[in-house]
């Protein structure tokens, strides 16, 4: 119809493959770390560093959430963003309940046949399954494999509000996040508000929000471009030095595996910041495999199945305590997760239309005047 402008369609920003790569590698390494009695986890950073890939996952999730919610909030406002966050939390909650029920059913059946998990982290559930199933519904009981779900749901619910704060008051948002983190450690009472019936979550939301907010702020400031290249090289040297020092402290027993993980100790923050500086320099040069990128795109599927598969792998290793099982079973689990993510149905993401270059007549290119 003449005189009516066409409706403006919202173009979804393209996915950053670096985020998918980092998240995919993080999820696979988290699965390996969750498998007990295997030599394969000695190859992950958790064995020789203070931090592990949990920090990577939370930071990248904050970055990805900011990229995903920014266009929606800009066009439709805070209510639309909060509605999307609630729907996302509902999806996470349903996935948590389904995988929790499947995992506990697997453990119960194996327990009836004489197979027990070496870590005994599910011993409380085996004493009274109905009671702990009910407690799992409202996050009062979260085993180690599922302990990140309450933290992630709380962070997702706060994304729309945090996005408004990051856009309007970025430095105040950073200061508030750091103050909340510092206040939690100063009180020496992490999880004071979410401790339930004597059991606490494995991730303190008041501490781990620091990395999530830092990931959101990273979309606001391109900090590597603001630093002189000469100072960037010096910063990378400092990062390498701090990584080496923390590695020696860890190897000589100063920090045990998982030390200060619940409330995200300062040493873990420094260690992660050092790795982040190095990743900024070389992550863009790493060849990106479609298989690893698929794990990052299907992060919820890989995490849920990885949590269940970690329990199954541990049970099989305890049933067959041989050298071949400690290497073959975890490698097979990684291959299975990659294959499931690669061949999982993908959501169709509309791409912006390709703009064809305007071809001018040859005579105009030669400088001739058009008649």
pLDDT of residue 314: 86
- Residue 9 covered by a domain: no
Q: Rounded distance, CA 59 to CA 70, Å?
A: 17
- Report the number of distinct structural domains present in the chain: 1
- Residue 369 covered by a domain: no
Q: What is the pLDDT of residues 22-37, one digit of tens each?
A: 899 999 999 998 886 6
Q: What is the pLDDT of residues 295-352, one digit of tens each?
A: 999 999 999 999 999 988 888 888 887 777 788 889 999 999 999 999 887 665 444 4
Which range of residues forms the domain containing residue 334?
25-343
When pLDDT is averaged across residues 340-366 and rounded to a whole number, the result is 56
Strand, coil or helix: what is 6? coil
Q: Rounded distance, CA 295 to CA 31, Å?
A: 12
pLDDT of residue 352: 43
Report DSSP letters for 121-187, one per residue.
Answer: TTHHHHH-HHHHHHHHHTTS---GGGTHHHHHHHHHHTHHHHHHHHHH-HHHHHHHHHHHHHHHHHT
- Written as six digits, the tokens of 255 are 């920090």
Q: What is the pLDDT of residues 78-127, one digit of tens each?
A: 999 999 999 999 999 999 999 988 988 888 788 777 776 655 556 677 77
Inform me whether the pLDDT recorded for 5 exceeds 50: no
- Residue 198 covered by a domain: yes
- Residue 20 covered by a domain: no
- Residue 293 covered by a domain: yes
- Residue 16 covered by a domain: no
Report which of 269, 236, 153, 268 is spatially closest to residue 201, judged by C-alpha positions: 153
In the beta sheet, which residues pair with residue 196? 199
Percent of the chain with pLDDT over 90: 33
């Amino acid at each position: 119809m003449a005189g009516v402008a066409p409706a403006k369609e919202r173009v979804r920003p393209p996915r950053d493959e670096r985020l998918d790569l980092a998240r995919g590698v993080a999820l696979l390494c988290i699965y390996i770390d969750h498998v007990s009695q295997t030599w394969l986890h000695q190859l992950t950073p958790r064995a020789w560093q203070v931090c592990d890939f949990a920090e990577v996952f939370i930071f990248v999730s904050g970055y990805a959430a900011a990229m995903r919610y920014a266009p929606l909030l800009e066009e439709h406002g805070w209510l639309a963003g909060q509605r999307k966050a609630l729907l996302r939390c509902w999806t996470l909650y349903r996935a948590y309940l389904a995988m929790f029920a499947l995992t506990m059913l697997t453990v119960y059946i194996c327990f009836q046949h004489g197979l027990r998990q070496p870590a005994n982290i599910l011993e409380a559930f085996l004493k009274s399954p109905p009671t702990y199933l009910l407690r799992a519904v409202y996050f009062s009981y979260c085993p180690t494999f599922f302990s990140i779900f309450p933290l992630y749901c709380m962070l997702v619910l706060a994304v729309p509000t945090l996005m408004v704060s990051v856009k309007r008051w970025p430095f105040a948002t950073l200061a508030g996040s750091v103050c909340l983190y510092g206040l939690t450690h100063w009180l020496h009472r992490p999880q004071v508000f979410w401790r339930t019936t004597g059991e606490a979550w494995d991730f303190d939301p008041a501490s781990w929000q620091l990395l999530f907010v830092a990931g959101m702020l990273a979309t606001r400031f391109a900090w590597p471009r603001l630093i002189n290249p000469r100072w960037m090289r010096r910063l990378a040297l400092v990062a390498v030095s701090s990584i080496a020092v923390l590695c020696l402290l860890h190897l000589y027993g100063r920090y045990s595996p998982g030390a200060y993980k619940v409330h995200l100790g300062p040493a873990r923050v420094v260690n992660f910041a050092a790795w982040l500086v190095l990743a900024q320099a070389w992550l863009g040069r790493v060849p990106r495999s479609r298989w690893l990128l698929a794990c990052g795109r299907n992060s919820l599927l890989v995490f849920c199945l990885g949590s269940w598969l970690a329990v199954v792998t541990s049970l099989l290793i305890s049933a067959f305590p041989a050298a071949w099982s400690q290497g073959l079973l975890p490698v097979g689990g990684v291959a299975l997760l990659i294959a499931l993510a690669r061949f999982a149905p993908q959501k169709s993401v509309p791409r912006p239309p390709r703009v064809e270059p305007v071809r001018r007549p040859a005579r105009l290119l030669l400088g001739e005047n058009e008649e």
